[in-house]
Amino acid sequence: MVEDKDMRDDEELDEPEEGGMYEHYKLEVDPGQKLLRVDKYLVNRIDNASRSRIQAAADAGNILVNGESVKSNYKVKPGDEVSIVMDFPRRELKIIPEDIPLNIVYEDDELLVVNKQPGLVVHPGHGNYTGTLVNALAYYYKDLPLFKTTDPRPGLVHRIDKNTSGLMVVAKTERAKIKLAQQFFEKTTKRQYVALVWGNLKEPAGTIEGNIGRSMKDRQIFTVYPEGDHGKHAVTHYKVLEELGYVNLIQCQLETGRTHQIRVHMKYLGHPLFNDDTYGGDQVLRGTTFSKYKQFVHNCFKMLPRQALHAKTLGFVHPVTGEEMLFDSELPDDMIQVIDRWRDYISNRSID
């Protein structure tokens, strides 16, 4: 399990380690992990970490494996406990409860399912310390023990991107959090997304498989590594729902859950998500050269100022009752409006 923290924004204050050192990160290497250099392993697992910074930390004796300092070329193996220690404590992050509206579609004593609106960051992090889903949950559940103001991710067992809308499950108790997290780890949950992508796919249905890891050229984005040990195994199944001229409406089912998985896999396939400004979908990638067509597309961008991606379906086993639970949500208004505009376009090509 990862205590998932940003290297620049450490969160909880620990007691000092032996020798006056403070633990900033602690990770346990997954059972299926292949032998991999510790510097590459940490770069893949920690947000905003550069390989040079990791190597410098190792040279300074700040990278520990099973309590012993190691060099950058040490190869981690399943079960290893990897720590990063510093001679200063982590900055304490206090979660400020905020009265942010939540679209709750289901709730009981153990969990709730929320339909997250686009633009809402899931948890606090660098540059986003307020206005997140966690701030909203801290307000809504201010009397529950799990939702402490010093825990940056209370009840969270998965997340979706800031500008992706859709369904998320949140635990309300520790036992629910453990059992739900196990289902996501074991890939037994059911998650289907709907996306609008550029271009007509060659096949009406298919599977995209390729490791996903941070780009070697730009650490802020992810890319597919079809071969080698870089990145994490990722599988996305897709099906075309509707062809809309120069874009397709598709359904994606996740077999794994990697950061930006659908966005990265569709970019790799040559069909970036419509208006995905991180992976090139915010350009006119298909269509005509007519100015009216270009204006039509840019008007669609304005109507949908984000990547066209919605987490539509979520299924899991209730952590206490054992009941199979399946939730489905309607597409948000901004996606519906743009899809309707494309339907109008293909029925009346005079828009060109």
| Model confidence pLDDT, tens digit, residues 59-94 | 888 899 998 889 999 999 998 999 887 655 454 457
Mean pLDDT of 33-48: 86
Which of the following is catalytic: 9, 10, 39, 161? 161
Do 22-86 and 190-348 show the same overall fold? no
State yes or no: pLDDT of 312 exceeds 80. yes
In whole angstroms, what is the distance from residue 232 CA to residue 210 CA? 8
User: What pLDDT score was predicted for residue 84?
Assistant: 87
In whole angstroms, what is the distance from residue 75 CA to residue 78 CA? 10
State yes or no: pLDDT of 253 exceeds 90. yes
State yes or no: pLDDT of 210 exceeds 80. yes
- The terminus-to-terminus CA distance of the chain in angstroms comes to 53
Q: How confident is the model at residue 23 (pLDDT cuts 50, 70, 90)?
A: low
161 catalytic? Reply is yes
What percent of the chain is modeled with pLDDT above 90? 58
User: What pLDDT score was predicted for residue 2?
Assistant: 36
User: What pLDDT score was predicted for residue 125?
Assistant: 63
Q: Comparing C-alpha atoms, which of 9, 25, 334, 316 is closest to residue 182?
A: 316
User: What are the sequence ranges of the domains in the chain?
Assistant: 22-86, 104-186, 190-348
Phi, psi angles (nearest 5°) of residue 127: 85, -5
In whole angstroms, what is the distance from residue 281 CA to residue 271 CA? 8
User: What pLDDT score was predicted for residue 217?
Assistant: 80
Mean pLDDT of 10-39: 62
User: What pLDDT score was predicted for residue 10?
Assistant: 24
State yes or no: pLDDT of 288 exceeds 70. yes
Least confident range of 53-57, 77-81, 306-310, 342-346: 53-57
Fold of 104-186: Pseudouridine synthase (3.30.2350)
Per-chain mean pLDDT for the chain: 86
User: What pLDDT score was predicted for residue 352?
Assistant: 46
In whole angstroms, what is the distance from residue 66 CA to residue 83 CA? 8
Least confident range of 39-43, 104-108, 266-270, 311-315: 39-43
In whole angstroms, what is the distance from residue 326 CA to residue 87 CA? 47
Residue 340 makes CB contacts below 8 A (sequence gap 6+) with none
Fold of 190-348: Pseudouridine synthase (3.30.2350)
Q: Comparing C-alpha atoms, which of 280, 236, 287 is closest to residue 258?
A: 236
Mean pLDDT of 337-348: 94
Q: What is the 3-state secondary structure (H, E, C) of the chain?
A: CECCCECCECCCCCCEECCCEEEEEEEECCCCCCCEEHHHHHHHHCCCCCHHHHHHHHHCCCEEECCEECCCCCEECCCCEEEEEECCCCCCCCCCCCCCCCCEEEECCCEEEEEECCCCCCCCECCECCCCHHHHHHHHCCCCCCCCCCCCCCCECCCCCCCCEEEEEEECCHHHHHHHHHHHHCCCCEEEEEEEEECCCCCCEEEEECEEEECCCCCCCEEEECCCCCCECCEEEEEEEEEECCEEEEEEEECCCCCCHHHHHHHHHCCCECCCCCCCCCCCCCCCCCHHHHHHHHHHHHHCCCCCEEEEEEEEECCCCCCEEEEECCCCHHHHHHHHHHHHHHHCHHHC
User: What pLDDT score was predicted for residue 272?
Assistant: 98
In whole angstroms, what is the distance from residue 142 CA to residue 184 CA? 26
In whole angstroms, what is the distance from residue 257 CA to residue 253 CA? 10
Least confident range of 1-5, 93-97, 212-216: 1-5
22-86: CATH architecture: Roll (3.10)
Tell me which amino acid residue 208 is. Answer: I
Structure tokens at 310: 């919605």
Q: Comparing C-alpha atoms, which of 317, 61, 337, 301 is closest to residue 163?
A: 301
Q: Are strands 63-65 and 81-86 parallel, antiparallel or unpaired?
A: antiparallel
Mean pLDDT of 115-135: 82
